[in-house]
């Protein structure tokens, strides 16, 4: 075939195969990293908390590890809009308004996120944005907000999910500020089939809770880490740079999760290209929790520029193998033990998609130890834990 014609055919078929047009705001080219107030503080938000959290993000080494957004969730508002229809931050919680907090966070080299809802109220009963999108987006922009989490509570006034979420997308685009747009529609209408052209990320499930599993049905509240994981299988082809599946914010360091469970949760979220939004009190976390959240080898898997989401390779009931192709030709792999006792789990370079090579370089992303293998990748994995590796064909200089 003539070269030009060949190129045209390839381009055309790529366009036809593309799931949906991407949102072209050029943001979130890798999954957003940051912190959000909800999982630990619920309605107890304030300027004090947000500013102290920004301080801790710097002093803990989280900023250096890539965390950037400090996000205020629900309950930052007064229950009534002003006479001219504007949103009013609660003066007891934010005595100098949101702009002062944004300025503080920006001075630390970080970014500020805020929360609203695509209905008449937020989930905690504060004024929602439906019908006020343009004005609210302008307020956010004027305050210096960099990220909006847009929830699904309140009355929808007869509008479809598409209309409600598109209205805020367009309002943000017209606001004159670059604002990451995070859809929080709880996976109700399979957003992985339509949200790529609307938001930078979209929740795929109901709310997370700091438990390994709850065995609740998928459409109920709350969901454990394994419950949410099960709902991510099969979604890997639906995300790409700028458009991410969001299995909800991290619970690392919360509740009674063990060290192994914290590591497993963080590893799996990284392999899924999830936004890494910490949900613990980072002002007072233990060294162990800090070490999990700042593991650079694991974060590098999440932040790989190729943006290919990990997928389930094998499911043997209480053990699973997950893999993610990395842009340098290596593959990240997780051996997961969901069972009640320790167990040996194994896979091969071939099974995780690496082409034949005489030997492989295998780096353990939690011990940071690098070894050579002829193909098998195996570990004895404790209960509720993972082993996580990155595997390169041939010799790879260990870092």
Interface with ligand GLA (CB under 6 A), residue from 74, 185, 227, 246: 74
Nearer to ligand GLA, 77 or 184 (CB): 184
Q: How do strand 370-373 and strand 385-393 relate by DSSP bridges?
A: unpaired
For position 345 contacting ligand GLA by CB under 6 A, the verdict is no
DSSP E strands, the chain: 33-36, 69-71, 111-117, 147-151, 180-183, 201-203, 244-246, 276-278, 311-315, 319-325, 331-337, 343-348, 360-364, 370-373, 376-381, 385-393
Nearer to ligand GLA, 123 or 345 (CB): 123
Interface with ligand GLA (CB under 6 A), residue from 90, 207, 213, 315: 207
C-alpha distance from residue 276 to each of 23, 42, 265, 303, 311 (Å): 20, 19, 11, 10, 18
Secondary structure of residue 226 in the 3-state scheme: helix
For position 184 contacting ligand GLA by CB under 6 A, the verdict is yes
Nearer to ligand GLA, 73 or 304 (CB): 73
Secondary structure of residue 378 in the 3-state scheme: strand
375 within 8 A of 393, measured Cβ to Cβ: no
Interface with ligand GLA (CB under 6 A), residue from 62, 77, 114, 124: 124
Nearer to ligand GLA, 74 or 320 (CB): 74
List of residues 6+ apart from 54 with CB closer than 8 A? 70, 104, 105, 108, 110
Q: Which stretch binds ligand GLA (CB under 6 A): 116-124, 235-243, 323-331, 350-358?
A: 116-124
Interface with ligand GLA (CB under 6 A), residue from 34, 41, 65, 73: 73
In the DSSP assignment, the letter for residue 123 is T
Q: Which stretch binds ligand GLA (CB under 6 A): 44-52, 120-128, 232-240, 293-301?
A: 120-128
Is residue 151 among the annotated active site residues? yes
Least distance to ligand GLA, CB of residue 153, Å: 6
For position 38 contacting ligand GLA by CB under 6 A, the verdict is yes
Total residues contacting ligand GLA by CB under 6 A comes to 10
Distance CA 184, CA 302 (A): 20
Q: Which residue is nearest to ligand GLA (CB)?
A: 123
Cross-strand pairs, 391: 331, 362
CA-wise closest residue to 337 among 264, 271, 255: 264
55, 90, 207, 230: the active-site residue: 207
Interface with ligand GLA (CB under 6 A), residue from 116, 136, 146, 151: 151
73, 151, 246, 297: the active-site residue: 151
80 within 8 A of 26, measured Cβ to Cβ: no
Look up tokens 């996580």; give the residue: 388
Instruction: Tabulate helix, strand, coil % of the chain (nearest 5).
Output: 30, 20, 50
Is residue 55 among the annotated active site residues? no
Nearer to ligand GLA, 89 or 241 (CB): 89
Nearer to ligand GLA, 104 or 202 (CB): 202
Least distance to ligand GLA, CB of residue 94, Å: 17
CA-wise closest residue to 147 among 26, 23, 279, 32: 32
In the DSSP assignment, the letter for residue 291 is H
Nearer to ligand GLA, 255 or 342 (CB): 255
Least distance to ligand GLA, CB of residue 36, Å: 8
Task: Name the residues that contact ligand GLA, by CB under 6 A.
Answer: 38, 73-74, 122-124, 151, 184, 186, 207
Residues with catalytic roles: 151, 207
């Amino acid at each position: 075939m003539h070269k030009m014609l060949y190129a045209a055919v390839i381009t055309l078929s790529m366009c036809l195969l593309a799931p949906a047009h991407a949102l072209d705001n050029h943001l979130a080219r890798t999954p957003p990293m940051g912190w959000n107030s909800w999982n630990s503080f619920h309605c107890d938000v304030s300027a004090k908390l947000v500013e102290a959290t920004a301080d801790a993000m710097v002093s803990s080494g989280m900023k250096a590890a890539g965390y950037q957004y400090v996000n205020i969730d629900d309950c930052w508002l007064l229950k009534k809009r002003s006479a001219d229809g504007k949103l009013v931050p609660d003066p007891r919680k934010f005595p100098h308004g949101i702009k002062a907090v944004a300025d503080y966070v920006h001075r630390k080299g970080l970014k500020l996120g805020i929360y609203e809802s695509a209905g008449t109220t937020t989930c905690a009963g504060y004024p929602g944005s439906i019908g006020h999108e343009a004005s609210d987006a302008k307020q956010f922009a004027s305050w210096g907000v960099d990220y909006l989490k847009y929830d699904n509570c309140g009355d929808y006034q007869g509008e479809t999910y598409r209309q409600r979420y598109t209205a805020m997308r367009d309002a943000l685009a017209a606001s004159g500020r670059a604002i990451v747009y995070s859809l929080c529609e709880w996976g109700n209408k399979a957003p992985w089939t339509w949200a790529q052209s609307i938001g930078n990320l979209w929740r795929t499930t109901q709310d997370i809770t700091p438990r390994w599993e709850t065995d609740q049905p998928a459409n109920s509240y709350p969901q454990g880490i394994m419950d949410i994981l099960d709902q991510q299988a099969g979604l890997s082809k639906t995300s790409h740079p700028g458009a991410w599946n969001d299995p909800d914010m991290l619970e690392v360091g919360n509740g009674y999760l063990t060290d192994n469970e914290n590591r497993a949760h963080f590893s799996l979220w990284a392999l899924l290209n999830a936004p890494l939004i910490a949900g613990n009190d980072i002002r007072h976390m233990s060294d162990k929790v800090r070490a999990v959240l700042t593991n650079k080898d694991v974060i590098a898997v999440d932040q790989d520029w190729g943006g290919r989401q990990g997928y389930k390779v094998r499911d043997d009931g209480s053990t699973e193998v997950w893999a993610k192709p990395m842009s340098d030709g290596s593959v990240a792999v997780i051996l997961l033990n969901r069972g009640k006792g320790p167990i040996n789990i194994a896979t091969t370079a071939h099974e995780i998609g690496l082409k034949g090579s005489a030997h492989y370089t295998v780096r353990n992303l939690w011990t940071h130890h690098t070894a050579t293998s002829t193909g098998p990748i195996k570990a004895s994995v404790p209960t509720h834990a993972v082993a996580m590796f990155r595997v390169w064909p041939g010799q790879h200089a260990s870092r």
